[in-house]
Homo-oligomer: A and B are copies of this chain.
Amino acid sequence: MLSPKQRVFIEAGRKEFVRNGYGSSSIRTIAQEAGVSLSALYYHYKNKQDLLLAILLDGVDTYDAVCDAELARAGDDPVEQIRAFVKGNVIFRTQFPEQGRMIATEVRNLEPEGARLYEERRRAGRRRIRDIIDRGVAQGVFTTKYPDDCRRSILAMVSAIANWYDPAGPDGPDEIAERYADLSLALLCPTITGGEGDSR
């Protein structure tokens, strides 16, 4: 969907925003980084805010594409779908760290109109895991008493991988994805439902 020129602007903007944060970033530096004049940049994005929104939506596109590719390979089994969903998330966090970081730290700098657009896109994406969990609960495969908290926890767990993942470290995305799929399923299928909580 993005033209090659837009892609250059988005890469340059992301680089600058990740380095300096939105507030301290300069649209002039971004134009320089992209190797174009300021007016050429303004031709495509009317201001820094407009570029921020484009960068964040591009991040969501990447996330969606990676998750959907994994889910397309999984069958109908909610357990396999959770594994695929977690794998997509691990790939996003490990292979696209700057996109992930933008989403983690710069969404709050969106102005209301952009925030609304962004939130709409994210909500559609979050439906993915919600649907899988709902189906697993309905089929009795997921026995958790707290499906909403499981959904939020799984998203938080996989997002946090970005904080410690080291591309030069011993574990590749595949191993990490396996472990986090196991952990996600431990949340969704606790055999002692509620643990010690049952005794309260």
Interface residues of A (CB under 8 A from B): 20-24, 79-80, 83, 105, 108-109, 144-146, 149-150, 152-153, 155-157, 159-161, 163-164, 178-183, 185-187, 189-192, 194-197, 200
- Total copies of this chain within the assembly: 2
Partner of A21, one of B21, B80, B152, B156: B21
Taken together as a complex, chains A and B put the C-alpha atoms of A22 and B155 apart, in Å, by 27
Distance of A17 from chain B, by nearest CB (Å): 11
Give the dominant DSSP class at A's interface.
helix
Given A21-B21, A23-B22, A196-B79 in contact, is the A155-B160 Cβ separation under 8 Å?
yes
**Residues in chain B near residue A21, CB distance under 8 A:** 21-23, 108-109
**Which residues of the partner chain B approach A23 to less than 8 Å between Cβ atoms?**
20-24
* Besides A150-B183, A181-B195, A186-B186, 10 other A-B contacts (C-beta < 8 A): A23-B24, A149-B179, A149-B180, A149-B183, A153-B153, A155-B160, A157-B157, A178-B197, A189-B192, A191-B192
A183 near B109 with CB under 8 A, answer: no
